[in-house]
Amino acid sequence: MLTLLTSMYLVVRAVSSQAEPIRVVVTGAAGQIAYSLLYSIAKGDVFGKDQPIILILLDIPPMLPVLDGVVMELQDCALPLLREVIPTDKVEVGFKDIDAAILVGSMPRKEGMERKDLLKANVAIFKTQGAALDKYAKKTVKVLVVGNPANTNCLIASKSAPSIPKENFSCLTRLDHNRACSQVAMRCSVSSDNVKNVIIWGNHSSTQYPDVHHAKVNIQGSEVAAYDAVKDDAWFRGEFISTVQQRGAAVIKARKLSSAMSAAKAICDHMRDIWFGTKEGEFISMGVHAAGNPYGVPEDLIYSFPVQIKNKTWKIVDGLPINDFSQAKMDATAAELVEERDTAVDFLSQ
């Protein structure tokens, strides 16, 4: 009898200790970035190895047959944490009670398309999605915008969801951050985990400023400033910056497709750091609301800063000295974002 009671207690305890599933939506879920992303989310690489997941796959109606194939593949992976997969083309289904939103889908720039036309199309998309988040999602939802122009799309989504804290919105510059880390690591002949505290300032565009003035490289157990490790200031101020800025275009030229595997990895890194925090003494790059920032960036922007994260709350790293070279680069990318914002806000009010 005692053995039976003990067994029942252990079963009840195991069931009660199992975390409740979280609801995660991915938009543009039939696309190539999502195809590289969904497996990592579903197997626990992002939200934890003991966190069950309900995955909601949102895309436009013509993509629903493709989503059915993605659902079949996720089922066929037989992943223990994946409790349910819901394909949909309806925002009221996609955003209902979600804990995390990864907004990958956006209008891509087509040949001959003016930038303002691209902005107009995306304002419509992210205004709709922001309003749906506002109406259907949990107020604690963490929203990551990936679809380009990511900074301005994120701003529009946030403005369209006034009941969700602005701090819950961020955009992806982690891919640029990872690219910068990798370039420094290759230059120093070390693995990329030996490079920390590179910074991406500003827009996820070719005006972004990859900054290594505060970066450290671990060489044979000793932390060295990146500039001292590389010993090539001209490379850092020239080829390094342009390589990171133009890397997306270089991938498209080579693959005839945009970055997918590396973008998915960056999304995982970004969301995992939101969920579990950054390492002590380290910071990463994220596009966040610029309000109250210590670097003189105009307030009503989503701008990429160095941030540290604790208890799912980010904080811009304060007190980093900025030289004239860096300031000019930071101002240039801010100016582009101001122009984008002003154009987008005009469309938003129409």
Show which residues are catalytic: 204
Bridge partners of residue 310, in order along the sequence = 313
- The reply to whether 59 sits in an annotated binding site is yes
What end-to-end distance do the CA atoms of the chain give, in Å? 73
User: Distance from CA of residue 179 to its chain's centroid?
Assistant: 14
Residues near 55 by beta carbon (within 8 Å), at least 6 away in sequence: 24, 25, 26, 38, 41, 42, 74, 82, 84, 85, 86
- The reply to whether 179 sits in an annotated binding site is yes
- The reply to whether 146 sits in an annotated binding site is yes
- The reply to whether 178 sits in an annotated binding site is no
Phi, psi of 211 (to 5 degrees): -120, 125
- The reply to whether 147 sits in an annotated binding site is yes
Residue pointed to by tokens 């944490």: 81
Please tell me what DSSP assigns to residue 319: -
User: Distance from CA of residue 119 to its chain's centroid?
Assistant: 20
β-strands 216-219, 222-225: how paired? antiparallel
Annotated binding site: 59, 109, 115, 122, 146-148, 179
Annotated binding site for substrate: 109, 115, 148, 179
Annotated binding site for NAD(+): 59, 122, 146-148
